[in-house]
Structure 1
Amino acid sequence: MFKHLSIKSRLIFVIAFLAVELIAGAVIGIYNLGIANTELKQMYDHRLVGLSQVGQVTQLITTNQLAVAKAVNLEDSGLRNAALESVDANIAVISKILDSYRQLPMNDSERALYEQFTEARKTFVEQGIRPAMAAIRAGDNAGAIALLNGQMTRLYLPVADLGAKLVKEQQDAALKEYQASQSTFEIVRAVCLAGLVFGLIMAAFVGWVLVRAIVRPLEQAVAIAGAVAKGDLTQTIEVTSNDETGRLLKALKEMNDSLVKIVSQVRTGTDNIATASSQIAAGNLDLSSRTEQQAGSLEETASSMEELTSTV
């Protein structure tokens, strides 16, 4: 597959692969940051706000009980009425806080505790706080003290107990959410580490394949060029790819084949010249021999002519 891709295409593939790996890592990181942010928001909205509201309610209930006890001992009617008015205001604030708490997401156990708490608080207000306040306003301090030490205290205990249980329920739920968040973190961390290792292995493998595909043909081309420079035209050049290095090897092969053809033609021409030279040399020898024979014949003719002349 890669043999038929150009080096440019391979480089683009490697860069694209690394870019995809980087983007995937960023997306996973951003996604899990979003999950972590959502879990933190839920913990704040559902648990921290809930704990704060329960704490406010229990504190105001205690404040009301103390305000009623204080009002019993106040002789100044203005201060006594101010203390009782603060209790009425706190009762209204508590009701508003509990209505807000009701809107928070709750599991079945927490909702059951909430209903028990609000019912106990309602009983405490209607059968404890308000009768004591009415006695104080009526000037019945003895009756108010009896309610304060008796019914108010008895009705306050389940309110305090259920408030503590509601706080404990919130804390347990927050702990479970934290543990779930930790479990998610461990899974995400393992996935990220596995992705990182996989990405490094793939990057190393792809890089090795790419370098091998580029360097080996170039080394082969350098070796071929060196051999040709030394006059060795017997190199076997195999072209196994269609990329830039493959085209380079193909060009070297064509050059080597052309050089072999040229050398062969030169060698053939040299052989022809050598043959012609041999033939010319043989012709010269034959001509020389004939010339000598003709010279001998001329000498004999001249001798015969001299003899004829002498006879005449």
Structure 2
Amino acid sequence: MKKVGVLTSGGDSPGMNAAIRAAVRTAQTDEIAVVGIRRGYSGLLDEEFTDMDYSSVGGIMEKGGTVLRSSRCEEFKTEEGRARAAEILRNNQIEALIVIGGEGSLSGAKLLMEENGIPVVGIPGTIDNDIAMTDMCIGVDTCLNTCVETIQKLKDTASSHERAFVVEVMGRNSGYVALASGMAVGAEAIIVPELPVDYESIADKIWKERKRGKINCIIVVAEGAASAYTVARHVEHRIGYETRITILGHIQRGGSPTAFDRVLASRMGYASVKSLEREESGIMLALHGGKIVGVSLEKVLSHKKELDMELVEMAKILS
């Protein structure tokens, strides 16, 4: 193998740059040329290519976001679009593709390989931690640290004004961020899309805590479960005192990655090149029991990552 391409696609996550850096430097060490593809699959179709070498990725590991930038691409969702992408790769002598992104990005990589024979390796990069077969995705740890730091500050003002705060975090179909951050700050209630919302039970619990003398309350809700405004409306009239709403939004995606995310991304970036050198294609690199392993994209994408119900039960007991 003489030349590989690397791209980031879909929503950005902290640590993507560390994965890019590791892939480029590993390939360069093994005398493989690397082409960076800007703006994901859209940039691939528009041939937005840049040659990358050891020095071009210097100093990017500590940066949030992705230096290759990202976008979503409707054309690549079509078979014709993927065929054109494969032709462009071949015309530029790019023999394989490393794709860093979430479920949609990995699905596109899988189809590109199956329909056009392009070798691909996926790296899971999403703050939702909703990709099956991996213990952790790139960006999750940084996101959780951002959420915890922010919610902890909200607890200070909640105590000062004796209020309840409803905090909405990301998680369209997965409650992992809400569950983990809620546990870490000792939230009184955590609402996730995997479970039905029992507003009566939540209000009763908050009211009991209030009668016991607790002067603040934090409710963490995943965006896919309910809006913060809906939760506040249902709860406020039951508990009889003011609530305030904070939506963390895209702040969760930004920021310099934590040491954990930098190391995880570096391990996966390194392994992506080594896997292609061994002619291992159609796989996603996963963290499993502390080791980086390759799992077939077919297996990854045919499974749904389930929320750990033991953690849910533990959160209820500890809150």
What TM-score does the superposition give when structure 2 sets the normalisation length?
Answer: 0.21
- Greater strand fraction, Structure 1 or Structure 2: 2
Larger radius of gyration: 1
More helix by share: 1
Report the TM-score, using the length of structure 1 for normalisation. 0.21
